[in-house]
Amino acid sequence: MHRFLALVALTAAAAPPMQRVDRAMLCVTEGSIEEGPSQRLSVNATKMRAYVSRATSQNIAAQFTYLGPSAQVSKLGSGTTRIQFGLKLRAADACNVVYAMWRFEPGSRVVVSVKTNPDQHSSAECGNRGYRNIKPAHDWRVPTLRPGDRHMLRAEMNGQQLRVFVDGNAVWDGSVGPEAMRFDGPVGIRSDNARLEMELLAGPVPPSHGDPALCGSEPESD
């Protein structure tokens, strides 16, 4: 953990300091997250969706170890099968959220998408509609993952501008557009068909931020 904090501080000196997110601070809306030794979080579910139930800035990092695909593999609502892990920003609800996903298989790349469905807030209303992949101003290659590999994935959002880092190196940089400013919410994490262990950090609470997010049970559609 000390190496993780040092790496975050070294590669994001301009960013505010980050705080540890333990299991008690996470609201899991699908799948499960367990807490093991040294407060490491583990995921062994086909689908996992969660958000931080306390107010933070739009800055989140996960130092994770990829343990391989889950025992069972499920398809997304589109019919596609992916092994992936990613970060959520401005996660208002199941229908309105910004994703920075590291797609492990097929291929290895970071994809940023905005899911927006004005006036819809539950999976029953929006399903898997409203996704738009965002073209970056700049992007870079990411490593191919193998079981046992350990990496840091971090995303920071300042207004419409989003930057995504892998192991301290920028891999995606660009604007998510005005659609993402029409809603607001906490940061979080998501995985599909991946077994993981991780340490999670999030940015501090902005001084002007309101009450922390409440934990609900609404699952997210793919």
For residue range 3-18, list pLDDT tens digits in order. Answer: 444 444 444 445 568 9
Question: In the sheet where 188-192 sits, what is the strand order?
Answer: 26-30, 47-52, 188-192, 83-93, 96-105, 109-115, 131-133
Instruction: Say what the alpha-carbon torsion angle 94, 100, 104, 109 is, to the nearest 10 degrees.
Output: 140
Distance of CA 132 to the CA centre of its chain: 16
User: pLDDT value at position 210?
Assistant: 52
CB-CB contact of 27 with 48 (8 Å): no
Give the three-class secondary structure for 115. strand
User: pLDDT value at position 146?
Assistant: 95
Identify the structural domains of the chain with CATH numbers, from first to last.
Answer: 2-202 (2.60.120.560)
Helix and strand numbers, DSSP H then E, in the chain:
2, 16
Residue 219 has pLDDT above 80, yes or no: no
Quick one: what percent of the chain has pLDDT higher than 90? 69
Taking the model in full, what pTM does it have? 0.87
Residues 6+ apart with CB under 8 A from 120: 95, 96, 126, 130
Residue 61 has pLDDT above 90, yes or no: yes
User: pLDDT value at position 81?
Assistant: 85
Give the three-class secondary structure for 3. helix
User: pLDDT value at position 222?
Assistant: 67
- 136 upstream amide cis, omega within 30 of 0: no
For residue range 18-57, list pLDDT tens digits in order. Answer: 999 999 999 999 999 999 888 899 999 999 999 999 889 9
* Model confidence band, residue 162 (pLDDT cutoffs 50, 70, 90): very high
For residue range 68-85, list pLDDT tens digits in order. Answer: 999 988 878 777 889 999
User: pLDDT value at position 213?
Assistant: 55
- For residue 180, give the H/E element and its range: none
Highest mean pLDDT among 3-12, 118-127, 128-137: 128-137
For residue range 89-113, list pLDDT tens digits in order. Answer: 999 999 999 999 999 999 999 999 9
DSSP summary character for residue 66: E
* Model confidence band, residue 218 (pLDDT cutoffs 50, 70, 90): low
Q: Residue 151 has which token pair? A: 């990496």
